[in-house]
Amino acid sequence: MLAPIATWIALRGEAVTNDIRDLVPALTLGVAVLLWVAGFDIIYACQDAESDVQARLHSVPARVGVRAALRVAALCHFLMVFVLLALPLGHYVGGPLVHLGWIYWMSIVAVGVLLVYEHYLVRPDDLSRANTAFFHVNAIISIGLFLVVTVDLLT
């Protein structure tokens, strides 16, 4: 969560020192990344639930079971999309936090669809596609969201 904040401070410089509220977009993105990583990490950890129980580790799947862990992951991803939707809607000092256009909105819809697909791939009784969900879908989301937001900010 600190990487987006540190990057924001480096890019914004004096704007942050003049008004601490300038950190809000970076904090918002940090929360979105935190929720996203937590969600896909929980999905990936479901593969090791049995060995975690045997080793007495306290992973989410070991503590609550695979089915409930996948629900927690889905909740994290739902909240991530909600936070990303809130980014251009939030206001402080009379203006939007970030000026993003229709390209951003369409990308958030695409991220939501990809996350639904990710959760469709992984079932409590069939974790065989967890690697596909973990690596492929999240790679598309990360690279795609970066490119789309960059294009939107430049247009």
pLDDT digit string, tens, across residues 9-38: 777 777 777 777 777 777 888 899 999 999
Backbone angles phi, psi at 87, to 5 degrees: -55, -55
Considering the segment(s) 2-154 as one domain, its CATH architecture is Up-down Bundle (1.20)
Question: What is the band of 145 on the pLDDT scale with cuts at 50, 70, 90?
Answer: confident
Regarding pTM above 0.85, the answer is no
The contacts of residue 30 (CB under 8 Å, 6+ apart) are 1, 2, 3, 4, 5
| Spans of all domains in the chain | 2-154
Tell me the angle at which helices 138-154 and 102-121 cross, rounded to the nearest 10 degrees. Answer: 180
Backbone angles phi, psi at 24, to 5 degrees: -55, -45
pLDDT digits (tens, 9 = 90+) for 116-137: 999 999 999 989 998 888 889 9
- Beta bridge partner(s), residue 95: 92
Q: Which two tokens stand for residue 53?
A: 């129980």
Does 93 have pLDDT greater than 50?
Answer: no
